[in-house]
Amino acid sequence: MSFIEYGDTIKDGDTAIVFLGHESMFPVKVQHGTVTQTKYGVIRHSTDLIGKKYGSKVTCSKGGWVFILHPTPELWTMNLPHRTQILYSTDISIITMMLELKPGSIVCESGTGSGSLSHALIRTVAPTGHLYTVEFHQQRAEKAREEFREHGVDHLVTVTNQDVCKNGFGVSNIADAVFLDIPSPWEAIAHAKSALKAEGGRICSFSPCIEQVQRTCLAMEEYGFTEINTLEILLRVYNVRTISLQIPDLGKAAEDNSGTGFDSSSPSTQGSPGANLQQGTVQFKSGVPLREMVGHTGYLTFATKS
């Protein structure tokens, strides 16, 4: 199994996503003889998973059912075990585009963290590119190596356990892009410039605080980066719902001209998709924003090596 080379059949040792609903899913490592508990009952890996096709509908011991999905970077971002705060699809999408990544690109990243962005970067640069990712924390670096190996992408990534601000990325003049997600990115700008190719390489720094952005922009200017700009991504989700509103009383003149569409007793409107539920109301579809939304994740600062 590989996160970038999709297969049809679930095999022993695969990582699969158990899908109970849009707001309820989790990853599971498929192992012969193992069982997984869900609210719908037990899933037996040997009989219910191994040999079945990804996307299959699996019936649990209590009679309920789930879908078994092939893992993707998007699904992994939603279900990975959190070792740190992670980047989500909203920021990841703009990062991969603004860094101009494509198959064959060489990317340097720090820090690795929980590997959310790392998996997306690997999928983007595969099959001939490479990711060099640096993680300061030894246990997180070891866990990242283990996950990349289990997910079949370890040949596309090199994990290094060191302080990027002091020791850099371990490569020079080869990277098409550099991404920084560290507390003091301005201390790593010199190493980022050294890792980037001779000219035209792109850099992105993610910071939650505007004071970090200010110091990072000053460091980028000092080291000759151009096209420096900072942005943040705000995501607003809408639910499409059917709602009913009362028809306003516009007086007798309006009644005389209301033969088109608003008379609930008219035969032409009865039985139609927008037919009135009761006298004096009209039903239609409307987009309703969620009551709560993510207001701020972080600032993304991009620049180009001159």
**The residue to which tokens 């997180």 are assigned:** 140
The candidate with the shortest Cα–Cα distance to 110, out of 68, 162, 174, is: 162
244 annotated among ligand-binding-site residues: no
The whole-angstrom separation of Cα 145 and Cα 159 is 6
272 annotated among ligand-binding-site residues: no
Residue 177 phi, psi (nearest 5): -155, 150
The whole-angstrom separation of Cα 112 and Cα 136 is 9
| DSSP letter for each residue of 98-121 | HTT--TT-EEEEE--TTSHHHHHH
- Residue 257 CB contacts under 8 Å (≥ 6 apart), including other chains: none
Half-sphere exposure of 25 (CA within 13 A, CB side): 21
- Residue 15 CB contacts under 8 Å (≥ 6 apart), including other chains: 1, 27, 28, 29, 30, 71, 150, 151
111 annotated among ligand-binding-site residues: no
Tokens (6 digits) for 70:
């092939």
104 annotated among ligand-binding-site residues: no
176 annotated among ligand-binding-site residues: no
The number of angstroms, rounded, from the C-alpha of 54 to the middle of its chain's C-alpha atoms is 21
250 annotated among ligand-binding-site residues: no
12 annotated among ligand-binding-site residues: no
The candidate with the shortest Cα–Cα distance to 38, out of 19, 16, 52, is: 19
DSSP β-ladder status, 106-110 and 157-161: unpaired
**Residues in binding site for S-adenosyl-L-methionine:** 114-117, 135, 163, 181
**Residues in binding site:** 114-117, 135, 163, 181
